[in-house]
Chains A and B, each alone.
Chain A
Amino acid sequence: QQKVQQSPESLIVPEGGMASLNCTSSDRNVDYFWWYRQHSGKSPKMLMSIFSNGEKEEGRFTVHLNKASLHTSLHIRDSQPSDSALYLCAARSSNTNKVVFGTGTRLQVLP
């Protein structure tokens, strides 16, 4: 059974700082990663996805993927208090065609 490990479990950054979140899959057949953000009391919403090696940037958010190590990271620059949320990483396995979620990183941005 594929596992998706996220670190750290929780993270506190000052407003305007950089937040870096990590995610690694145990399944060598993973071919797609997603990052979801879930604000307190709300449902998860897809933030970014990546399937090619390298990086992808959208505004203040950058996602990196290293397929060899099955590792993806999400970086949030100029963090805002509104970025405070649970960040979930999800990975798809090409041989099982299943999406597995990690346990999340809880980010708190202090004003």
Chain B
Amino acid sequence: DPKIIQKPKYLVAVTGSEKILICEQYLGHNAMYWYRQSAKKPLEFMFSYSYQKLMDNQTASSRFQPQSSKKNHLDLQITALKPDDSATYFCASSQSSAETLYFGSGTRLTVL
């Protein structure tokens, strides 16, 4: 029974389009994160939120926008998609900032 739900599991998009990756956690955690992993790069930190506030942003591009509508939700909107954005995007959560991270199963994004 997954406690961190990511939707969709697989996503195919065309260059220039916009997509939203969904993440919900049912662990009662206060901190949530987005990471990206591709064959070319290792696990790469993108954003961290604590109590629905942005704590850290290591993503250079404004095309990536996290959205936290509820404490246990942290979605990721990606605009003007590029083939280089193709990767698996992992959502994670922890009880508080910088504690043990628990990862969702990921969304594998392919941009054609």
Q: Which residues from chain A sit less than 8 Å from chain B, CB to CB?
A: 32, 34, 42-46, 49, 88, 90, 92, 97-104
Contacts and interface: CB of A to CB of B under 8 A. Distances in A.
Contacts of B56: 98
Contact of A99 (B101, B104, B105): B101
Interface in B58-112: 90, 97-98, 100-106
B51 interface: no
A83 to B, nearest CB: 19
Interface of B: 42-43, 45, 48, 56, 90, 97-98, 100-106
A103 B43 CA distance: 7
A97 B94 CA distance: 13
A106 to B, nearest CB: 11
Contact of B102 (A42, A46, A92, A104): A46
A43 B45 contact: no
